[in-house]
Chain A
Amino acid sequence: DGGITQSPKYLFRKEGQNVTLSCEQNLNHDAMYWYRQDPGQGLRLIYYSQIVNDFQKGDIAEGYSVSREKKESFPLTVTSAQKNPTAFYLCASSPPGAGGPFGSTDTQYFGPGTRLTVL
């Protein structure tokens, strides 16, 4: 089955620890994205990547880092520098098409998310 997977579903960490969230897709999508969602809030863009070995900061990149070594994978590291890391983290990807500057459409499909709680 094709899709986007995120693991784990729930994650607990102590304050001051770095943690890496996994996002994998087997849809052959070029573009991938990371968002965070806080209760009652909209999704906010953390980082995005249009092609392998390239990524850009979103609106709230401080305290986060990413890598894009493979087309299928876009892991997000929440570092100890992130002031309020407890949130629902969502990964998304876009199918190929003529819509965007790098050939991806604007339509995004989401993984099931990871709920991170920092104690």
Chain B
Amino acid sequence: RKEVEQDPGPFNVPEGATVAFNCTYSNSASQSFFWYRQDCRKEPKLLMSVYSSGNEDGRFTAQLNRASQYISLLIRDSKLSDSATYLCVVNRLNSGYSTLTFGKGTMLLVSP
């Protein structure tokens, strides 16, 4: 099983739609979880951290299911500007150091 696995998409949705992305991770010891957004040929930017209780930031909601090792991102009322690749990110510990493992990303295309 890959460390972080995501459906590459693309997800094609109309403006105003609700869309959900899922991600699974293999390391049960992971403690930190994030969603990053990456525009074409740009650097990744932090979208939100993901907490066990679930968290919301405007139109974005993230959920974590530790038992199933599963993370989700829900985007409501999609905007054209939401078109990007969404990266699922999980931490791992190597000899006491914590580093991040990035999924390959899920591409979202929002159309008028």
Contact = CB atoms under 8 A, between A and B. Distances in A.
Interface stretch (A13-21, A35-43, A64-72, A77-85): A35-43
A113 B39 CA distance: 13
Interface string B1-23: 00010001000000000000000
Interface residues of B, number: 25
Contacts of A108: 46, 100
A110 B4 CA distance: 20
A40 B8 CA distance: 9
A90 B104 contact: no
A8 interface: no
Nearest to B49: A107
Given A48-B97, A106-B91, A41 B43 contact: no
B32 A50 contact: no
Nearest to B2: A42
